[in-house]
């Protein structure tokens, strides 16, 4: 599976993962655009924009509370966990579009959340914010300043957290190998990260059961799931590094 990139893996020091909803699919969290994807059932313009939130904050919160319930009860899978293993062999950074916190719960030590976190809540007015895994009896929940709280996620039309994005571009520009796992790469600016890596002559590896809009740019595309492939990558690297 990895023979053709064996040299690159042998010589690499910095590996960057760009991940999306697909890496959490095997933890029971639906993707957005896959077969049973969320955007096939729900209109993102009614649930994932700031206008939709102010139009009907209760509706938006009901949907996010359901997603929080599913995410908080989910467990990291072998895809997430193997990345922690890989940290023993390389300098690994995870640039994730996921808001579920499963990379961190799997022990991945360097994770940049490009689209925020559903676990974190923040006030729409004051600078209050905190991680919260409980449930709200009254929706929309209110801050102590009496303004409504929102999930600290990036909605369509909103900018990414600037410091995070700046660091992500830098990590992508410095990596030797970029592994793009579980993302359709249709959302920007996250889908520009492989271009930064390519400009640094990094090796691009895609792990996705389906073709994506950038599959032709990849040095290697593996049509399988992340929980199947990443553990095998770890075993392969351990083997070549022991020779
Ligand atoms: N392992 C690897 N890849 C998988 C798996 C799996 N087990 N299951 C599905 N996939 C792939 C699908 O083939 C698809 O290409 O994961 C990809 C998921 O794509 P999307 O649903 O578009 O999710 P993502 O790329 O993360 O979306 C980007 O869009 O809706 C916004 O903010 C949201 O962060 C999200 C962004």
pLDDT tens, position by position, 195-230: 999 999 999 999 999 999 999 999 999 999 999 999
User: Would the pLDDT of 243 be above 90?
Assistant: no
Q: Please, which pLDDT band fits residue 173 given cuts at 50, 70 and 90?
A: very high
**CB 141 less than 6 A from any atom of ligand 1:** no
**CB 47 less than 6 A from any atom of ligand 1:** no
**Which ligand 1 atom sits nearest the alpha carbon of residue 183?**
25
DSSP string, 187-226: STTGGGHHHHHHHTT-EEEEE-SS--TTGGG-SEEE-S-H
- Euclidean distance between CA atoms 151 and 99, whole angstroms: 10
Using most ligand atoms within 8 A of CB, pick from 26, 33, 44, 80 the residue to mutate for ligand 1.
33
pLDDT in tens, 110-167: 999 999 999 999 999 999 999 999 999 999 999 999 999 999 999 999 999 999 999 9
- Euclidean distance between CA atoms 132 and 120, whole angstroms: 6
Nearest C-alpha to atom 8 of ligand 1 is from which residue? 22
Catalytic residues, by residue number, are 115
State if pTM tops 0.95: yes
pLDDT of residue 161: 98
């Amino acid at each position: 599976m990895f023979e053709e990139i064996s040299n690159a893996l042998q010589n690499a020091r910095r590996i960057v993962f760009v991940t999306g909803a697909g890496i959490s699919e095997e933890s029971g969290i639906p993707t957005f655009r896959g077969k049973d994807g969320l955007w096939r059932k729900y209109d993102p313009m009614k649930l994932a924009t700031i206008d939709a939130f102010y139009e009907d904050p209760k509706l938006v919160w009901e949907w996010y509370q359901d997603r929080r319930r599913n995410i908080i009860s989910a467990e990291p899978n072998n895809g997430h966990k193997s990345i922690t293993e890989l940290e023993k062999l390389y300098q690994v950074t995870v640039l994730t579009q996921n808001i579920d916190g499963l990379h961190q719960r799997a022990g991945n030590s360097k994770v940049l959340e490009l689209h925020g976190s559903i676990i974190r809540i923040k006030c729409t007015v004051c600078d209050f914010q905190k991680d919260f895994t409980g449930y709200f009896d009254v929706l929309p929940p209110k801050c102590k300043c009496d303004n409504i709280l929102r999930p600290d996620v990036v909605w369509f039309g909103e900018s990414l957290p600037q410091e995070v994005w700046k660091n992500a571009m830098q990590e992508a520009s410095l990596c030797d190998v970029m592994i793009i796992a579980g993302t359709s790469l249709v959302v920007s600016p996250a889908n520009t990260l492989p271009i930064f890596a390519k400009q640094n002559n990094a090796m691009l590896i895609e792990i996705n059961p389906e073709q994506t809009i950038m599959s032709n740019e990849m040095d290697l595309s593996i049509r399988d799931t992340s929980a199947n492939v990443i553990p095998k990558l770890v075993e392969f690297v351990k083997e070549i590094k022991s020779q």
